[in-house]
Amino acid sequence: MEQKFPEAFAEFTEVCKTLENHYRDMQDMEFTVEHGKLFMLQTRNGKRTAQAALQIACDLVDEGMRTPEEAVAMIDPRNLDTLLHPQFDAKALKASEPMGKGLGASPGAACGKVVFTADDAVAWNDKGEKVVLVRLETSPEDITGMKAAQGILTVRGGMTSHAAVVARGMGTCCVSGCGDINMDEENKRFTLAGKEFHEGDYISIDGSTGNIYDGIIPTVDATIAGTFGRIMGWADEFRTLKVRTNADTPADAKKARELGAEGIGLCRTEHMFFEEDRIAAFREMICSDTVEEREAALDKILPYQQNDFEALYEALEGCPVTIRFLDPPLHEFVPTEEEDIKKLADAQGKSVEDIKAIIASLHEFNPMMGHRGLRLAVTYPEIAKMQTKAVIRAAINVQKAHADWTVAPEIMIPLSCDTKELKYVKDMVVATADAEIAAAGIEMKYEVGTMIEIPRAALTADEIAKEAEFFCFGTNDLTQMTYGFSRDDAGKFLDAYYDAKIFENDPFAKLDQTGVGQLMKMAVANGKATRPELHCGICGEHGGDPSSVEFCHEIGLDYVSCSPFRVPIARLAAAQAAINSK
């Protein structure tokens, strides 16, 4: 152009400078040249990849066109996901057609051989094979296999199903709720798009789009450019909302710390029970006939729990750690395989029929609203006492080893709905904790709070705050109970709601500010009216959603907590919320 139309080219370069200086952003301009005359047709802010967005923002600051505050406000936090997870090779992906689609439940890309059980995932992984774990749905019992897999694919479940939440926490690719899969778990095979897949066959899944592909699509590792740290540094200057992480292992906690987490807002202790060396003892506890037998079984688990908590405190280097006591119903821990049932029967001195009868007695029609959370502590106080001992003993040991740290455990009692039940469990926790601290001969502060995940707890927050020293909103369950939707089953009908324009988005992925949000707003205001020093946070999956983070800033929460790989998203969203509020 410069050679053919030198005058038009010179004019064009000047117009480009004028437009970029005016809009103070990279422009996508359309133009034409007719008979040597330049005509500008259109301009708009140019589309960009996440990595380019960071680079452009930094360049604009360096050129004096934008302030750091404006640069932070320019970037879409959701796009940061692509910087933190492996992606499919662009050329290979373009040449591939998806054979099915589920929900993009945890971002990233994965390919590997199909396996159908957690044990098989571990066994194949130990042989050096990359695997994709395919299940009807996952449960806490599958945690070891989920860790071993490159990716997770489920037939059932939504964006906040067990598979989705755990996968996001581990940074593992996950596609959930692909109802088109016809699963035959017993024979280790499934059918999708007319093709039958067996153990060892290759598939590829995209946790961002939910697409499922036959065969192998090569992946490329994520790369974080130097501009990432610079933008995050600016974001931290502007935000007032703290950002913690949901982490159950030292590895997750360390990764979250690397990505800027300022503490743990949720440690799910039940995930610690499923390791091979402790699940047997926990099953003994469930099948015990007396309190003494239960306490003997729990005594076997206590050292493991204590070591787990010590490792978490070490990883967080004195930052706050909130530990949620046992939450799921007990049926999730009992064996399902005949061989495991027999092993448990032999260990207990019971018959296989006796164990099967106990397992059958634990069945509930609606376990998510059944015998779980602090209801377990009311029924079996010895569980809460054991966990309290583990939390406090771990904190004492780490505090002694690091005198310059302040280790102040935050014990979170889940699923409370009444101040009397909370007081009953809290009194037991406090008595146990105080006895441990007195026996150690040191001074240590700790807090006992609760998870607000039942609407009644939000509505009676002024009463709940008399016993709770902090609130943490478990918005996965709070959304479930407010809507009356099962978060694992809602995916079956939500598409029809979107098509009918009843809903615009999934309430489990983006916080419902009109209903659930108003319960939260009310709970914060009423809770702080009773206890002005009450600190409040959110640890549901909404803690990593940008629009939800902005709402949390508006209602005065102290922190948001999200899975490790969503920490940068929350940091940037919190900064933008503070900037917008001005």
- Tens of pLDDT along 493-543? 988 999 999 998 889 889 999 999 999 999 999 999 999 999 999 998 899
- Which one is catalytic: 58, 85, 162, 552? 162
pLDDT level of residue 90 (50, 70, 90 thresholds):
confident
Say if residues 410 and 362 touch (Cβ distance below 8 Å).
Answer: no
Give me the residue label for tokens 């009423």: 526
> What average pLDDT does the chain have?
93
The predicted model gives 282-293 an average pLDDT of 92
Q: CA 451, CA 470: separation in Å to the nearest integer? A: 9
The predicted model gives 252-279 an average pLDDT of 89
Amino acid found at 67: T
365 pLDDT above the threshold of 90 = no
Q: CA 282, CA 279: separation in Å to the nearest integer? A: 5
pLDDT level of residue 456 (50, 70, 90 thresholds):
very high
> So what's the pLDDT on residue 366?
87
Q: CA 532, CA 520: separation in Å to the nearest integer? A: 16
> So what's the pLDDT on residue 49?
84
The predicted model gives 362-389 an average pLDDT of 94
Torsion angle defined by CA atoms of residues 470, 475, 478 and 482, in that order, rounded to the nearest 10 degrees: 130
* pLDDT tens by residue, 296-325: 999 999 999 999 999 999 999 999 999 999
224 pLDDT above the threshold of 80 = no
- Please give the DSSP secondary-structure letter assigned to residue 160: T
> So what's the pLDDT on residue 367?
86
Is there a catalytic annotation at residue 539?
A: yes
60 pLDDT above the threshold of 90 = yes
> So what's the pLDDT on residue 220?
87
- Which one is catalytic: 319, 539, 552, 562? 539
Q: What percent of the chain has pLDDT over 90?
A: 81
pLDDT level of residue 562 (50, 70, 90 thresholds):
very high
pLDDT level of residue 225 (50, 70, 90 thresholds):
low
Asked whether the CA dihedral 290, 450, 561, 154 is positive or negative, the reply is positive
Q: Which of 47-51, 220-224, 394-398 has the lowest mean pLDDT?
A: 220-224
- Looking at per-residue pLDDT, the higher value among 516 and 49 belongs to 516
pTM of the model: 0.86
280 pLDDT above the threshold of 70 = yes
Is there a catalytic annotation at residue 162?
A: yes
Instruction: Quickly list DSSP for 459-502.
Output: HTHHHHTTT-SEEEE-HHHHHHHHHT--TTTTHHHHHHHHHTTS
The predicted model gives 140-148 an average pLDDT of 89
> So what's the pLDDT on residue 371?
94
* pLDDT tens by residue, 386-421: 999 999 999 999 999 999 999 999 999 999 999 999
Nearest to 113 by CA among 247, 186, 216, 34: 216
